[in-house]
Structure 1
């Protein structure tokens, strides 16, 4: 049931022809309350799509009644016409729901730089159809409606002590921090203030979506939203809720990683014994963005020299001649030199674990990435066709 698993939420996903496949392409999620609390985090890309510009304004008061999402068009770099389309989408939803347009978030995903009267008409029609189809069972259709190049819909739920969390996500490429080419909606029936929702969401995304770095490319449309209904009447322990939210976001992030465009390996880069968490993240990200390393993993080649070369470009505190590197349980590098033979490493499974031991402190972090494949290049070379 995804986003409709918690009490107080209804959703729908409808098809209005934004996708040539005829599959659902507009989703609506509505918070029936009693609380109408919302929080959101957005791409840090300076180039932002019109829905991002709108939602950044709308979220300022911490009140969210509904969110409308479309796939099949990013509505980015479409000028004033595109922003008016987003504004009209929120107004249409507000009119039909009897709420303020300023309390409706809008999200879009798809090809950048396209949008015309036909696109606008379909989005507005989809908004109306979606609201007419709202139900407590509509979460599955909503999760399907936000898919673009995704091969599967991505959902996650958590059952707490009298309260729950539900989530849906889309994304299959251009995954980099500052979120990814992702749209994520998370709902909860726990009782939270707007300030708590914002703090918990930022803490959760920091250790989940912000550490997903599939191909080092940052999108213009990324948005992760948290809607709070308070319908359970339960105020959870703050630490317990934050941990649960991080678990749901982490699960969704791993599902995004597993569906990355054209990938044949899912790589978890564990950096341990760093001087600080920031150093651990910097080191992990340097490897995640190194095309030579990613190409080696695609070829099932445990080329640990490329790992050391990548981390040597960072400002993190460590001695490269003391670093250990382990691949899928085999320590191939010890103190910056060869250890076990490379042929002991089996990289044929999809899951790859890389452990980098910096030996300078107690901090650690994990970055998720994928390999660089022929299929990735082909799919992204033909994305607009």
Structure 2
């Protein structure tokens, strides 16, 4: 990824709202010696939380733990580690997650069931050394908690990310802040990658859950970088109520969606090996579901993605991809445009391909189905040599 293509990283992230402390430390999980354990703590007065998780049936131990812990809507803290997914590590792995929550709870003097745990890294690895480093890192991070610790926390959750992702949205008297990690295995299933979002607004757990599902449905759930769904994906939303202000729920959901969209775009811009950030807009669909299905069929089409890598506006590959869906439309009535140039009209050639310039990183593909009034946007990226190399050497 080139420096001039990076989206701006905004503010302190999770510690921008009042009532939160965070930290990030190096516990030795990464061979690079970089930070790899992060903690976000809600100091209240409210301790409300909500979360959405990967819909992959293969779930990592932290997901299994956190799905149980979130049920009462009370979250005191989130502990996150990079450098190991703690997935398919048997009962030992679940005990490691449980002990992580217990260690954090003991130090914070809260219930272990109110501590969520997140992990990211290589699947199928984990031993006594891994457990010892996670537990020691949790202790060290909790000892360094600070209202200014959001930057360090966002750096500690990175794996193949080239830079940290943070965002802040401020409204009249209340704030939302967030951090995210993710550069590969980005495909939707309620949530994508690891994300922690905080707010000092006064909202209960049920309201947070409603707003979070509205926001993720149109942001993270429509980021489809490589069609590969992780075992560890989790988006967590915490509310401290420290502002003392109760916002209108619709207003809060809109602000939350804005923040999640910002983070999703940062994740798209840092996708492994990508040279193009591709926005696929599907218009005039019979339903939103149809628009999403059509957009995702293109986002997951390797022939299309390699064409974009080669700066080839191959609209035929778009039509071939959308023809595999069950969406309601006439393939011979569809228009397809690349970067503002309509190359296909009513299923036939329109403008010459050489009128399209695909050398810039941002790439816009518009698919007009002419079947209704619904629309949806899917974010993806191209498939490059660097992506293949990075993922072929990931565990080496």
TM range (shorter): over 0.9
* In structure 2, distance between residues paired with 1:112 and 1:3: 27
Paired residues of 1:42 and 1:179 also in contact (CA < 8 A): yes
What residue is the counterpart of 2:49 in the other structure? Answer: 38
Give the secondary-structure state (helix, strand or coil) at the position aligned to 2:304: helix
Given candidates 272, 277, 299, the residue that maps to 1:266 is 277
Q: Secondary structure at the match of 1:200?
A: helix
Matched, 1:346 2:357: yes
Between the two proteins, the alignment pairs up a number of residues equal to 385
| Distance (Å, rounded) in 2 between the aligned partners of 1:84 and 1:238 | 38
From 204, 228, 234, give the equivalent of 2:215: 204
1:251 equivalent in structure 2: 262
For residues 254-306 of structure 1, the C-alpha deviation after alignment (integer angstroms, 9 at most, x for no partner) is 00000000000000000000010000000000000000000000000000000
Q: CA deviation at 1:238?
A: 1.3
> CA offsets, 1:222-260, max 9 Å, x none?
000000000000001111110000000010000000000
Q: Distance in 2 between matches of 1:179 and 1:238?
A: 20
Equivalent residue number for residue 4 of structure 2: none
Equivalent residue number for residue 312 of structure 1: 323
Tell me the secondary structure at the aligned position of residue 55 of structure 1.
helix
Q: Hey, what's the Cα distance between the residues in 1 that align with 2:95 and 2:343?
A: 56
Do the aligned residues in 2 keep the contact of 1:209 with 1:250 (CA within 8 Å)?
yes
SS at match of 2:100: helix
How far apart are the structure 2 equivalents of 1:77 and 1:179?
21
Q: Distance in 2 between matches of 1:179 and 1:280?
A: 17
Deviations 1:47-103 (A, max 9, x none): 000000000000000000000000000000000000000000000000000000000
Once the 2 structures are TM-superposed, how far is the Cα of residue 182 of structure 1 from its aligned partner? 1.1
Q: How far apart are 1:181 and its partner, in Å?
A: 5.7
The within-5 A match list for 1:188-337 is 188-337=199-348
Aligned partners of 1:280, 1:216: CA distance in 2, in Å? 17
Please list the CA deviations of residues 326-385 of structure 1 after superposition, one character each: whole Å capped at 9, or x if unmatched.
000000000000000000000000000000000111100000001010100000000001
Unmatched 5+ residue regions in structure 1? Answer: none
| CA distance, structure 2, for counterparts of residue 233 and residue 337 of structure 1 | 59
Which residue of 1 is the match for residue 166 of structure 2? 155
2:111 is matched with which residue? 100
Q: Does 1:358 align with 2:374?
A: no
* Separation in structure 1 between the aligned mates of residue 262 and residue 338 of structure 2, nearest angstrom: 23
Following the alignment from structure 1 to structure 2, what is the Cα–Cα distance between the partners of residues 70 and 60? 22
TM-score computed with the length of structure 2 as normaliser? 0.97
1:167 matched to 2:178? The reply is yes
1:60-209 to 2 correspondences below 5 Å: 60-178=71-189, 182-209=193-220
Aligned residues of 2:191 and 2:216 also touching (Cα < 8 A):
no
User: Per-residue deviation at 1:179?
Assistant: 5.2
Q: Deviations over 1:29-50 (max 9, x none)?
A: 0000000000000000000000
Give the structure-1-normalised TM-score: 0.99
Residues 270, 284 of structure 1: 8 Å contact kept: yes
Contact 1:172 1:181 (8 Å CA) reproduced: no
SS in structure 1 opposite 2:320?
Answer: helix
Q: Which residue of 1 aligns with 2:386?
A: 375
Alpha-carbon offset, residue 180 of structure 1: 6.3
Deviation, structure 1 residue 193: 1.1
**Structure 2 CA distance, aligned partners of 1:364 and 1:36?**
37
What SS is found at the alignment partner of 2:331? coil
Measured in 1, the distance between the counterparts of 2:191 and 2:225 equals 9
Q: CA RMSD in A?
A: 0.6
